[in-house]
Structure 1
Amino acid sequence: MREILALLCIFSCCVFLSQAQSYDDKRCKCICPSISSVTNSTETSHMARIMYITNVPPKKCNCDGVILPRIGRELQGKEQEFCPRCECKYENRNTGIIKVVVIIVIWVISILVIYMAFLIILDPLLNKRIKGSYQEHTNEDDEASAAGPMYHNMSLRGNVLNRVGHQQDKWKKQVKEQRRNIYDRHTMLN
């Protein structure tokens, strides 16, 4: 259990510390047609679009500030024909909040998985303890007076488990009855 929590802490620290160029909070994203659409070469298809992502100020988020420094030599003087076909958008996002939300979701899922494992382990123990300690009672007054206060303390401890087991058995019987009615008799319980 402690090992799992330690691994989750290490993982969450690594997520916070890792930052890459494509995950900057502020960036300029330009989508342009392929260079062959302007240069009339047949190397690539005319339908292909190329995405350029760069970290520049908002004023330089255009064809002149992002695309021409990269591919200006390949355009060979056809910049005026190529640039109007490009769409440039400046994006401002908060990756810190995104990371926090992802970590919270991972923690919640981890807690639910641990809880589910706990219930899976606990179910056979409850069923064994309840079925092993079950005795048919005919007259509770006689048994209570014969056993004395010791029986009373033990009954309080087992009372919760007995109630849970009784409700679980009752629910299982109702589910069996409902299935039998639906599939065999084609009727529903009220």
Structure 2
Amino acid sequence: MSCRAGSWMFAAAAVIVCLLDTAVFAEAKNFEDVRCKCICPPYRNISGNIYNINVTQKDCNCLHVVDPMPVPGHDVEAYCLLCECKYEERSSNTIKVTIIIYLSVVGALLLYMLFLLLVDPLIRKHDPYTQPLHNEEDSEEMRPRADAGPARGNTVLERVEGAQQRWKKQVQEQRKTVFDRHKLLS
């Protein structure tokens, strides 16, 4: 990878980190890494509600979380028995790091794809032995056999091109079979 592409990727990663930090800071006002979440169903004429508050695990119950208490003093115990309270923990730093790694990998793969799209025509040499596979019979008669010629496939690119040619040949054979069967059936 060239130095310019590496510096571009570093700049993109820095921008992503800044945006994520800004987004997390903006949402840090609403959410903490630890919280107690109480889900209270409807009770008599009071509609159900969800309460979130930052308290310790031992204080994670209806009496400490539900504020203001929607029921009068004598119904508090019955109301709190219906509520389901859970203590939740998460690591926002781990979430940020995971997202940054994911975005970096996707960005690196996109840069690599762009690099291959730009460099592939320069690397690929015109090979007189490869022809477009318009007609299977013509391409088989005109193309020399791989066993008869000199040893090919020394480089990775030549092996990939050979595999690509075999795949194209298989696709052409499948197309011919499907179209012949279609003609026979109709």
Common fold by TM > 0.5? yes
Query: Unpaired segments of 5 or more residues in structure 1?
Result: 137-161
2:16 to 8, 11, 15: 11
Asked whether the equivalents of residues 31 and 86 of structure 1 are also in contact (C-alpha less than 8 Å), the reply is yes
Q: Deviations over 1:14-41 (max 9, x none)?
A: 434634144322111111113xx23x26
1:170-185 paired onto structure 2 within 5 Å: 170-185=162-177
Q: Paired residues, what number? A: 145
- The two structures have a TM-score, normalised by structure 1, of 0.63
1:111 to 101, 108, 111: 108
- The two structures have a TM-score, normalised by structure 2, of 0.65
**Counterpart of 2:51 in 1: which secondary structure?**
strand
Which amino acid letter does the alignment assign opposite residue 59 of structure 1?
K
**Following the alignment from structure 2 to structure 1, what is the Cα–Cα distance between the partners of residues 41 and 128?**
81
What is the Cα deviation at residue 118 of structure 1?
Answer: 0.6
**Which stretch of the first structure deviates more once superposed, 92-101 or 3-12?**
3-12
Identity percentage of aligned residues: 32
**Counterpart of 1:58 in 2: which secondary structure?**
coil
Which amino acid letter does the alignment assign opposite residue 27 of structure 1?
R
Q: Deviations over 1:80-126 (max 9, x none)?
A: 22111101111222222222122111111111111111111112222
**Following the alignment from structure 2 to structure 1, what is the Cα–Cα distance between the partners of residues 99 and 31?**
15
Q: Could you tell me which residue of structure 1 aligns to residue 91 of structure 2? A: 94
CA RMSD of the aligned region, Å? Answer: 2.8
Which amino acid letter does the alignment assign opposite residue 29 of structure 1?
K
**Following the alignment from structure 1 to structure 2, what is the Cα–Cα distance between the partners of residues 166 and 92?**
53
Asked whether the equivalents of residues 16 and 100 of structure 2 are also in contact (C-alpha less than 8 Å), the reply is no
Which amino acid letter does the alignment assign opposite residue 76 of structure 1?
P
**Counterpart of 1:71 in 2: which secondary structure?**
coil
Alpha carbons of structure 1 residues 135 and 94: separation in structure 2 relative to 1, 3 Å: closer
Which amino acid letter does the alignment assign opposite residue 124 of structure 1?
P
Query: Unpaired segments of 5 or more residues in structure 2?
Result: 130-153, 179-186
1:85 to 73, 82, 85: 82
**Following the alignment from structure 1 to structure 2, what is the Cα–Cα distance between the partners of residues 59 and 21?**
23
Asked whether the equivalents of residues 41 and 82 of structure 2 are also in contact (C-alpha less than 8 Å), the reply is yes
Q: Write 1 or 2 for the structure with the bigger share of helix.
A: 1
1:38-187 paired onto structure 2 within 5 Å: 38=44, 40=45, 49-67=48-66, 70-72=67-69, 74-77=70-73, 78-127=75-124, 130-131=125-126, 163=155, 166-185=158-177
